[in-house]
A and B are shown apart, each in its own frame.
Chain A
Amino acid sequence: MPEALLIEPDVQFIRNVVRAGGGDLKKCYQCATCSVVCTLSPDDAPFPRRQMVRAQWGLKDQLMADPAIWLCHNCGDCTTHCPRGAKPGQVFGALRSEAITHFAFPAFLGAWLARPAGVAALLALGAVVFGLLALLGPMASPHRAAGEQAFEFANLYPLWLIETFFFSLSALILIAFLGSLTRFVRALRASGAQGPILAGLVPAAVDIMTHTRFSTCRQARARYIGHLATFWGFLGLATVSTVVGFATMFGVMHTPLAQTNVLKILGNLSGAAAVVGAVWLLADRLNDPVKRAASTSFDWFFLWTLTGVIATGVIIQFLRLAQSIPWMYVCYFVHLVLIFALFVSAPYTKFAHLAYRTVAMAASSKT
């Protein structure tokens, strides 16, 4: 007989899960309808039934180290079929947000950004930072010759400043991600998930790129399309930005790019896909009263920031073409503040699901 588990329910954890969308958690009476209807649940370690009882009993450590909570794509099949209305899908959403906060590196940032006040503070910080940075830009400089050249964003913030700032910030974010994921992997290993993480990353990434697992969710066809568009649009934008950023930094390329430039076309297409996808996802969540009620600041912040970044990105391009002063500068400022917020919060908010899910899928893959 295995050694008995000493039960010490983490009451705060239960309350957090309940507050973060798992309000019906305690209704579960363990019939396992959810595990049966779930198309993603593996036969040898089915979910979400077991995770439901562990959550009810406040067994936080077991749940945080359980890759199963990341194998769920929140399609809602289980919630639709739950005879008791326990909404396992939403409980899983809450568990994921708990996990992101739990493994956050540095931990205080995770705890801070898990609260709406922290999010507001982050946006305010972004505004202050970019307000101050604008003081260093050419427009603020007394040496600036007006009307010398077309209105460009570089007039507000010189390119070197933006690039240096965001590349440095990205490096910090990467460290934060690596720190968080290291904690996560350590917990996964301790709980017995023995999948080869490095080797498993490639198949996991392929699955994520193709949305193969997500596409099998019956209840989530609409969200699947929106998510796919957002994912690829965002990936395209990230790639174009990084390439252009490096290229300009090393002087290989000069912005603004011509509208016929391949990268420009790719960027515009990605932007269009991302806009459509993000609006689609937002509309899906807003139109469904059940989903709307179950969404927390954790969901909304990520979704609105992402949509805001993409939308302001598209708008400022048009404003620049129209040479609309001062709106193009105002929107550019907002765009940068939102990107800042998205970057800084990435390891601590829903954005991080991309990284956690990839690792969890790798860890639970078969050797």
Chain B
Amino acid sequence: MANAPGVYICSGCSIGDALDTGKLAKVATSACQVPRCEVHPFLCSPQGVSLIRKDLAEGSIDGVVIAACSPRVKTEAFAFDPRIVVDRVNIREHVAWCQKPQDEDTQMMAEDYLRMGIIKVQKSEPLEPVHDEISKKLLVVGGGVTGMTAAIEAADAAYDVVLVEKSPRLGGFVATLKKRFPTAPPYTELTTDGTAALVQAVTYHPRIQVLTSARILETSGQPGMFDVTVAGESGEITTRVGAIVLATGWKPYDATRLGHLGYGMSPDVITNVELEQMVARGPIVRPSDGRAVASVLFVQCAGSRDKNHLAYCSSVCCMASLKHAAYIHEQNPDAAVYVIYKDMRTPGQYERFYRAAQDHPLNFLTKGEVAGVQKAADGRLAVSVTDTLLNEPIVIKVDLVVLATGMVPNAADGTAIRAVKDARATLARAEATEPQKVDARKKIEELAQHEGTEILNLTYRQGPDLPAFRYGFPDSHFVCFPYETRRTGIYAAGPVRAPMDAAHAQEDATGAALKAIQSVELAARGAAVHPRAGDLSFPDFFLQRCTQCKRCTEECPFGTLDEDAKGTPQLNAYRCRRCGVCMGACPERIISFKNYSVEIIASMIKAIEVPEEDEEKPRVLVFMCENDAYPALDVAGLNRVRYDPSVRVIPLRCLGSLNIVWIADALAGGIDGILLVGCKYGDDYQCHFMQGSELANRRLDNVKETLQRLQLESDRIQLTQLAINEYGKLPALIDGFMARVRELGPNPYKGL
């Protein structure tokens, strides 16, 4: 506890023009009784900062409250020892720059924020950095181009690597290719450089241990201390690693589901992968009679960009087909090659290869829909195509039809596997009710195909592998957090993360290797990884009061918590991202961080001075996600945008850490309305902790029922999704909510 915080108020950056800083200082000294309060015209200057440092060195204060600019700026100037509790009260962006200067309401706002900051520091405890023995060795799963590149990149950066490959040799899919896509200007020629050089570099690298014909039996522990048991050619070994790069690649989409495109109808309908295998063996021939082909038709998007199959674009099939066309013309310059596409997608420099391929007089390309593939009387295949550029349905007779099928991640869905296991356990339980058993059987039928697909075999409570995101890829948000998965310290790279070609996968591997290195380095400092990189706080569990409700273990987006036999949560601190979702979930409120807890936020709410009903000054509490909404409000301040001065903003690490007791506290304290601003959720979620805002919304539904029971209008609480760039929407959002609250009138519980 910081019982004696020093308060330092900056009057620079026009804060002093908008606010009466003397009166503000009086709030600290008289009302809050802090031992020390200074107003400085330029607090972030060396003189200003040394003022604080001097007080700290003298020991006259044990905590610091800086009432100045946003905590998102001047972080270096105001960096103190982590053992000192510091809070930054944002009276610049959130008050002075966005409110009417020298106004009573503006002053009240600043005073409330200062009181909230002081109580926060008083209730917080200093952080104690932890130090455990952290392994900085990395595990790379998969010996294809991605995995080998990740291993080389990490090893060259002086990190030891264990590379696990399930097949007897390294190289992956790319090693089986006759030629690869162009990698250098002018990007019009296929390259023949396979993976031999990379395989050699990996094999002989002193820091890389290669285990082939291997599979992972178990991965236990947490970042910095994963214990991985691998069964390989030389028996079982267990090794400790700090982080994991998952580079298990892809598998082709199951073509047996493409009967409508002729697959299975004739041996002369093959997939692009089968064509590549044929090329590896010898000439391209008709499988039915072994004769060399004179005409070949490629069906692009075979089962891709199709909601009945793969809804996405695999981004490589167009290039693959153009490459295969080159193979065919190499073998027979007079062969006719037809490509039927939805759109040709040859990203980046590959467009140049596409152009070169187009110039070939015997490459015939058209947009179109393949309506059917039939055996023609002459032994060839007749392909009917509609919606063509030729403005009429066409029939093309060819020797061979190649289906350009897409990529499916070679991943295991840990959540699904866990669900099947749970369902089987339900069936085995004697006391399970009949409806429970029906549900369980349904679940097993739906998800049974996931069993046996395990890759990492994690000992996590939430499942033995990474949870799948959209389309089964274990990747997290591809723009904001590439390579991140929902398991801390485990990073996905290459086609297992998103469909991509080898060149892109190599870039990916480099990025993921760097992420893995960051992860072990931060673990060694006891600090969180992205997005709260460097955070030294950890959740504490007051387990004596735990009721084993399992909400925390189920809702943690990162699988941090395991359970003992009774269901008591067991913390794996290094898996934690410090989002506080568990804290929001806990009905017993036994989960807290030293500087972020249910009690701290509740005290901050209580610190807001709620004017009497007859003053007609409503008070609205705004819980803002620290990641997107709070910076957006900063930008609104930067643009000097005005909004209603009745709001009081409390930043939350994630809206998912919202504990509903705060809502009750606020309403009981006379607050007239509560606005929650979090990240977008759903398929295109932007939540930095995957599901926080969605969880908050779910919890809020329950709160609204309670409100109705208390005869309070449910409109008094509103949750809004906001992206970081939508600062322009904030003033209207706040003012609109305020208008609704004024319409509803004062909180009837005010003053009770």
Contact = CB atoms under 8 A, between A and B. Distances in A.
Contacts of A4: 384, 392-395
A314 B367 CA distance: 57
Contacts of B289: none
Interface string A309-327: 0000000000000000000
B358 A11 contact: no
Contacts of A11: 334, 336, 361-362
Contact of A6 (B334, B361, B391, B397): B397
A286 to B, nearest CB: 28
A9 B336 contact: yes
A9 B364 contact: yes
Nearest to B364: A57
A26 B358 contact: yes
Contacts of B338: 7
B359 interface: yes
A11 B361 CA distance: 8
A53 interface: yes
Contacts of B397: 6-7
B385 to A, nearest CB: 8
B392 A2 contact: yes
Nearest to B363: A26
A27 B358 contact: yes
B305 interface: no
Given A26-B363, A27-B359, A6 B395 contact: yes
Interface in B373-401: 384, 386, 389-397
Nearest to A24: B359
Interface string A1-26: 11111110101001100100000101
A255 interface: no
B389 A30 contact: yes
B361 A53 contact: no
B673 to A, nearest CB: 54
Contact of B364 (A1, A27, A30, A56): A56
Contacts of A27: 355, 358-359
Contacts of A14: 361-362
B188 interface: no
Contacts of A24: 359
Contacts of B362: 9, 11, 14
A30 B389 CA distance: 8
Interface in B63-119: none
A7 B361 contact: no
A362 B721 CA distance: 65
A29 interface: yes
A81 interface: no
Contacts of B384: 4
A54 interface: yes
The DSSP consensus for interface residues of chain A is mixed
B394 A5 contact: yes
A26 B367 CA distance: 15
A5 B395 contact: yes
A110 B338 CA distance: 32
Contacts of B390: 5, 50, 53-54, 57, 59
Contacts of A5: 390, 392-395
Interface residues of A, number: 24
Given A26-B363, A53-B390, A57-B364, A7 B358 contact: no
Interface string B322-344: 00000000000010101000000
A146 B367 CA distance: 78
A29 B358 contact: yes
A9 B334 CA distance: 12
A75 B366 CA distance: 28
Contacts of A3: 393
Contacts of A6: 394-397
Interface in B463-481: none
A308 B338 CA distance: 47
Given A4-B384, A9-B336, A15 B361 contact: yes
B392 A26 contact: no
B698 interface: no
B343 to A, nearest CB: 11
B393 A2 contact: yes
Contacts of B355: 27, 84
B360 interface: yes
Nearest to B388: A53
B105 to A, nearest CB: 58
A7 B336 CA distance: 11
A95 to B, nearest CB: 15
Interface string B528-556: 00000000000000000000000000000
A10 to B, nearest CB: 11
Contacts of B361: 11, 14-15, 18, 26
Query: Which of B361, B367, B397 has most A Cβ within 10 Å?
Result: B361
B394 A7 contact: yes
Given A4-B384, A7-B396, A26 B359 contact: yes
Query: Which of A7, A24, A84 has most B Cβ within 10 Å?
Result: A7
A215 to B, nearest CB: 31
Nearest to B360: A26
A31 to B, nearest CB: 11
A1 to B, nearest CB: 6
Contacts of B367: 30
A203 B323 CA distance: 53
Interface string A229-273: 000000000000000000000000000000000000000000000
A24 B356 CA distance: 11
Contacts of B392: 2, 4-5
Contacts of B394: 4-7
Nearest to B358: A26
Interface string A38-72: 00000000000010011011010000000000000
A60 to B, nearest CB: 13
A198 B334 CA distance: 44
Contacts of A84: 355
Contact of A50 (B359, B391, B396): B391
Interface in A140-173: none
Nearest to B357: A26
A56 B391 CA distance: 14
A24 B360 CA distance: 10
Nearest to A50: B391
A9 B390 CA distance: 13
A2 B391 CA distance: 11
A29 B355 CA distance: 9
Nearest to A86: B358
A343 to B, nearest CB: 36
Contacts of A56: 364
A6 B338 CA distance: 13
B358 A1 contact: no
Contacts of A7: 338, 364, 394-397
A7 B385 CA distance: 11
Nearest to B338: A7
A85 to B, nearest CB: 9
A2 B392 CA distance: 8
Contacts of B396: 6-7
A6 B384 CA distance: 9
A4 B395 CA distance: 6
A56 B389 CA distance: 11
Interface of A: 1-7, 9, 11, 14-15, 18, 24, 26-27, 29-30, 50, 53-54, 56-57, 59, 84
21 contacts: A1-B393, A3-B393, A4-B392, A4-B394, A4-B395, A5-B390, A5-B392, A6-B394, A7-B364, A7-B395, A11-B334, A11-B336, A11-B362, A26-B359, A27-B355, A30-B367, A30-B389, A50-B390, A53-B389, A57-B390, A84-B355
CB-CB nearest 8 A-B residue pairs: A4-B393, A4-B395, A7-B396, A26-B359, A14-B361, A5-B394, A53-B389, A6-B395
Given A30-B389, A57-B366, 15 more contacts: A2-B393, A4-B392, A5-B390, A5-B392, A7-B395, A11-B361, A14-B362, A18-B361, A26-B358, A26-B360, A27-B355, A50-B391, A53-B389, A57-B364, A84-B355
